[in-house]
Structure 1
Amino acid sequence: MRIRELPYFVKWFILGTVIGVVAGLSALTFYFALKLMEYLFILKLVGYEIPEPLGEGGSLNYVFHAERIWLIPLSTALGGLLSGLIVYTWAPEAEGHGTDAAINAFHRLQGRIRRRIPPIKLIASAITIGSGGSAGREGPTAQLSAGIGSILADLFSLPPEDRRIAVAVGIGAGIGSIFKAPIGGAILAAEVLYKRDFESEVLFPALVASAIGYVIFSSVTGFTPIFGYYMGTFNPLRLPLYAVLGVIDGLMAILYVKTFYSVHDAFKRWRVSNYIKPVVGGAVTGLIGLLFPEVLGTGYGWLNLAEFNVANAFISPVIALPLLIILALLPFLKIVATSFSIGSGGSGGVYAPGLVIGAFTGFDAWLIFHYLVPGLAPDPAPFVIISMLALFGAAAKAPLAVMFMVVEMTGSYQLLPGAMIAVAIAYLISGDYTIYRAQVPTRRDSPAHADEYRVPLLMEIRVNECELIKEPIAHADEDVATALNRMLRYRYTALPVIDPEGRFMGVVSLYDMGRGRGRVRDYVRPMRYVTPESTLYDALGVMSEAGTTWAPVVNNGEFLGILTMEGMNRAYSERLRGLRANA
């Protein structure tokens, strides 16, 4: 009997075990690759020893020292250069933060992730972060594990629905492993796909995979939580302070998302070579890091120093600033540094920076609370911990998963009541703003579940009732590089091809062209299309067969435009509103 034919729990216990082993080994591989790059760039080149978190051998007696501090911008710019060369030469879709790409593969690509992406993501991210770029190691690990989950699904000849589950399980297991947070990782696999929903089919295999990945990773790196153990007690009188902190974190989550994507979109619009952009982003980050080294790298060690109130470690080594000014600026500078490191095309995660931004925000809030009500706020640790989970839980639209992950990373289960209040308020305040653009609101909005909710009505609505778009398309006689750049700009993995007379020829895909040369017509392959009289159910079948979120619309050979999933959603919603109004 083939594995795809086994009962659900048996099948996913086996596959979850395999994915867990892969996730644990992937996390270890990336962890040591990152340590190597930090040694080469930061320690040997700059002569700067980054503070480590307590769970990874760090100390609270840290004193800043950098022998060649002026080389920090050179280190980060060089990291951006090398990362950009690797990514844009071999796998352009490996740029940015990997978790979003894995979420996009779940919803829109039937769980397909190109096989070259995991190793490219590993190397490029290790260089970006190891050279001092402000990014996290969870996103690369998530994409690495998700990519291998997609490969395993193909090796076992699993159908698209199972491949999607394998990708989601890989996301959770990878993050749960490298953060030493198996419960949170498992929940994240099911929660991070949506803004306001949960992928229940993912939870069981994610629990298995995340637990196994955690054991493998921690057997080598140690089972101590990354940020050590918080030994304080819960004080219910602080609940109003945590509620205020939730409001602050919700607003900061909005600022994080808006700043990140403003910088990201600005770099996308900038008409220079993609190879140059990560260099510029790295240089800007390095200049900030020259003045405020706390923003460099993952920031885990600085987070620990804030948690345990080692404020005298925070300095600006180049300009003399009062400590309070430095502490007040750090949350905002970390947002800017992360936006330039990753938004410029560098490779790394946004999860860890979100935690660090939250930690710095919580420390600043504690300073205010300590001044106003010193008896209720004697030390910053509970505010730092709760703020880091509230801010990123809101920004990631994964409040439950992030809450459990942070308490696992800090050993602070006694803070859960306050954490629940703060993250709920932050989630409410942040609205629809999310750091993961590939998320959809609910299962109903996911192309992966379109057939479950829309079949009857989709069989009635015609394509000619929908708005079509004219771009992006590829022209048969243009060169491959132009078509590839257009794909990357529009975030499409395939484009319809038309001949000089405007007639539909077929489709070209990113996977087929790769680094190919010549003209687009050399890579055209057939694709079914719809006509204006076709139903949206027919269009959905074309999309499913081709693995796209669009379908070409053709009438008597003439290409009329592209029907997108968004266009279908609008027509569907309009018809549904009409039915409700007449009910």
Structure 2
Amino acid sequence: MFPRVRALGQWLALGSVVGVVCGGASALFLFLLDEATHWRLQHEFVVYLLPVAGLVIGALYGKWGASIRAGNNLVIDTVHEGDARLPLRMAPMVLVGTVLTHLFGGSAGREGTAVQMGASLADAVAHRFRVSPSTRRELLAAGIAGGFGSVFGTPIAGTVFGLEVICVGRMSYEALVPALVAAVVGDLVTRALGIHHSVYPVPEALALSPGVIGKWLVFGVAMAVAAVVFVEGVHFIKKRLEKALPALALRMALGGVGVVGLWQLVGTSDYLGLGVPMIQRAFVDPDLPPEAFALKLLFTAVTLGAGFLGGEVTPLFFVGAALGNVLGRLLGLPLELAAGVGLAALFGAAANTPLALSLMAVELLGANVLPHVVIVTVTAYLLTGQRGIYPAQRIARLKHGGPLLERLVPLRDLDVPRAPADRTEEPKP
């Protein structure tokens, strides 16, 4: 009994510390992001300066950010390998870089920033208290959960995301308690500091039937296709630009020119920044432009592929909700429900986190989205295959089944040999 009580006390204390620093960092980040977005909307000419912002951010990262440039992939690698400490400067640098990206109109999100801030701050806590290597890894997962949960106001989804994103198909339950504590405390701190999160319409309940399930399966296929296009598109743009322009600053400047060109071509600012107004519109507007999801996907792929900072969640919320709006109209599904399911399913498939995003849909939209969001998200997750927005994610078994791999393998290195068919023990990290 005493060891269990001691362990609980330790996780309550350490998880709370991580949650406080994650919540405070997310509150500051969201405040600055909101201010930057409002200023850009009032002074749209600044979008023309996005290439210059790219030069500046790229130069700063080129000089001081080489060790943290991998972002979320560095965090995931550190959880598994645990050799080097995450530099504490990751938190302020990614915060400033993301705010500048949004200030000048880059199409990016915020989860990447929150995860990187949370993990780097959690690693600082781990080193401050001189915890064991295993406890440090669990605190890193707690930092991911605390950052994700506090930046979106979804602590339960944040908890599961921190456990699920580390390894495809295998949950890190050893970090469950600290992740839950950090996510809940982080959310409480963010809200206590006056941050208000986006509110979305609550869909009405829809009973499952064979016909409805069939429609959701079609829906899931469409979401999988969109996820594959996004993941491969970002990776393609990134690799081509890295080959053509080795200097990060020049790649970001060229990406900025591309975004400005797209902005002028489409003639609207709807696809710049987070795009939250368009997400909310997707829930209620039967006349939403059918090409909206494709345009946001393109804007975001160019922005992130060029190296601008931020994340993928909110842009993929936009793409998923807008595509869900279109599919809802075509398939005869309730618009609010279709947009809400699409919002969660696309990122769940692209990030290989179907459980976390299904829970996130419930936290954001209410229980009426169940079981619809689970059906679509799991279908899309399976059909995307062995790919994702985080190449550092480890995988223990291919999504379609088969034997365990000989070891946990990053998605980027899946050409390793597999274990014999009769292998049953768990792979070692």
Under a length normalisation based on structure 1, what TM-score does the superposition of the two structures give?
0.65
Q: For residues 309 and 151 of structure 2, what CA distance do their matches in structure 1 show? A: 17
Cα deviation per residue 1:259-301 (whole Å; 9 max; x = unaligned)? 1111111122123422111111122112222324222111122
Would the alpha carbon gap of residues 186 and 253 (structure 1) be closer, same or farther in structure 2, given more than 3 Å must change?
same
Match of 1:418 in 2: 372
Residue 287, structure 1, aligned to residue 261, structure 2: yes
TM-superposition CA deviations, 1:305-351 (whole Å, max 9, x none): 1112174xx6xxxxxxxxxxxx2322222222112211211111012
Distance 1:355 1:110 in 2: 34
The match for 1:232 is: 204
Tell me, what secondary structure is at the counterpart of 1:276?
Answer: helix
Q: For residue 280 of structure 2, what is the aligned residue in structure 1?
A: 304
* 1:246 equivalenced with 2:216 (yes/no): no
- Say whether the 8 Å CA contact 1:111–1:160 is kept in structure 2: no
Q: Distance in 2 between matches of 1:417 and 1:156?
A: 42
Indicate conservation of the 8 Å contact 1:110/1:160, yes or no: no
Following TM superposition, by how much is the alpha carbon of 1:579 offset from its aligned partner in structure 2, in angstroms? 9.8
Greater CA drift, 339-348 or 74-83: 74-83
Match of 1:167 in 2: 140
Deviation readout 1:4-60 (Å, 9 max, x if unpaired): 9993322111110001111110101111221232244x13431xxxxxxxxxxxxxx
Identify which range, 102-111 or 296-305, moves more after superposition: 102-111
Q: Does the 8 A contact of 1:72 with 1:286 survive in 2?
A: no
2:127 is aligned to 154
Per-residue deviation, residues 383-434 of structure 1 (Å, max 9, x unmatched): 011112111111111000011112212x321111111111121112111121
Mapped pair 1:127 → 2:100 = yes
Amino acid across the alignment from 2:299: A
State the 1:155 CA deviation.
0.6
Tell me how far 1:210 sits from its aligned partner. Answer: 0.5
Quote the Cα distance in structure 1 between the aligned partners of 2:188 and 2:226: 34
SS, match of residue 275 in structure 1? helix
Query: Which whole-Å deviations, capped at 9, do the CAs of 1:490-519 have from their partners, x for residues lacking one?
Result: xxxxxxxxxxxxxxxxxxxxxxxxxxxxxx
Give the alignment partner of residue 140 of structure 1, picking from 92, 105, 113: 113
Partner of 1:367: 329
Paired residue type of 2:390: Y
Aligned AA (2:213):
L
Letter in 2 for 1:293: S
SS in 1 for 2:273: coil
Look up the SS of the partner of 1:236 in the other structure.
Answer: coil
Quick check: 1:43 aligned with 2:41? yes
The match for 2:7 is 8
Which whole-Å deviations, capped at 9, do the CAs of 1:82-101 have from their partners, x for residues lacking one? 322322221134447x4333
Change (3 A) 1:428 1:78: same
The residue type equivalent to 1:233 in the other structure is A
2:394 is equivalent to residue 440 of structure 1: yes
2:162 is matched with: 189
Amino acid at match of 1:354: L
Q: Percent identity?
A: 27
- Which deviates the most, 290-299 or 9-18? 290-299
Counterpart selection for 1:408 from 343, 363, 366: 363
Mapped partners of 1:185, 1:91: distance in 2: 27
Matched residue, 2:385: 431
1:350 counterpart (303, 309, 312): 312
Tell me the CA shift for residue 218 of structure 1: 1.8
Provide the C-alpha distance between the structure 1 equivalents of 2:345 and 2:4, rounded to a whole number of angstroms: 42
| Structure 2 CA distance for aligned equivalents of residues 183 and 578 of structure 1 | 36
The range that moved more, 81-90 or 395-404, is: 81-90
Question: With CA pairs under 8 Å and 6+ residues apart, which has the higher RCO, 1 or 2?
Answer: 2
**Counterpart Cα distance in 2 of 1:111 and 1:171:** 17
Q: 1:211 to 1:579 in 2, by over 3 A?
A: closer
8 Å CA contact 2:47, 2:104 repeated in 1: no
Distance change in 2, residues 1:381/1:350 (3 Å):
same
Q: Does 1:339 align with 2:301?
A: yes
Q: Is 1:33 aligned to 2:7, yes or no?
A: no
Selected match of 2:291 from 329, 341, 351: 329
Distance, in Å, in 2 between the alignment partners of 1:343 and 1:137 is 16
CA RMSD of aligned residues (A): 2.8
> Which string of whole-angstrom CA distances, capped at 9 and with x for unpartnered residues, describes residues 175-216 of structure 1?
111101011000100001112111111111111111111111
1:85, 1:36 → 2: CA distance?
24
Match of 1:106 among 79, 88, 94: 79
The answer to whether the 8 Å contact 1:33/1:126 transfers is yes
Aligned to 1:61: none
Flag structure 1 segments of 5+ consecutive residues without an equivalent: 47-70, 315-326, 371-376, 445-452, 455-548, 550-564
Bigger CA radius of gyration? 1
How far does residue 111 in structure 1 lie from its aligned partner after superposition?
6.7
Q: Distance in 2 between matches of 1:17 and 1:173?
A: 10
- Which stretch of the first structure deviates more once superposed, 343-352 or 81-90? 81-90
- After the TM superposition, which residues 92-103 of structure 1 pair with which residues of structure 2 at under 5 Å, given as runs? 92-95=66-69, 98-103=71-76
The Cα offsets for residues 433-459 of structure 1, whole Å up to 9 and x where unpaired, read as 211111010399xxxxxxxx98xxxxx
1:535-573 deviation line (CA, Å, top 9, x unaligned) = xxxxxxxxxxxxxx9xxxxxxxxxxxxxxx979x95xx5
Per-residue Cα deviation, 1:210-249 (whole angstroms, up to 9, x for no partner): 11111111233456x6233415222324333222111111
Change over 3 Å in CA distance of 1:168–1:393 after alignment to 2: same
- Structure 1 distance, partners of 2:246, 2:176, is 43
Q: Which whole-Å CA distance do the structure 1 matches of 2:261 and 2:239 have between them?
A: 21
Q: CA offsets, 1:141-189, max 9 Å, x none?
A: 1100110001111111112222221111111111111101011000100
> TM-score normalised to the size of structure 2?
0.87
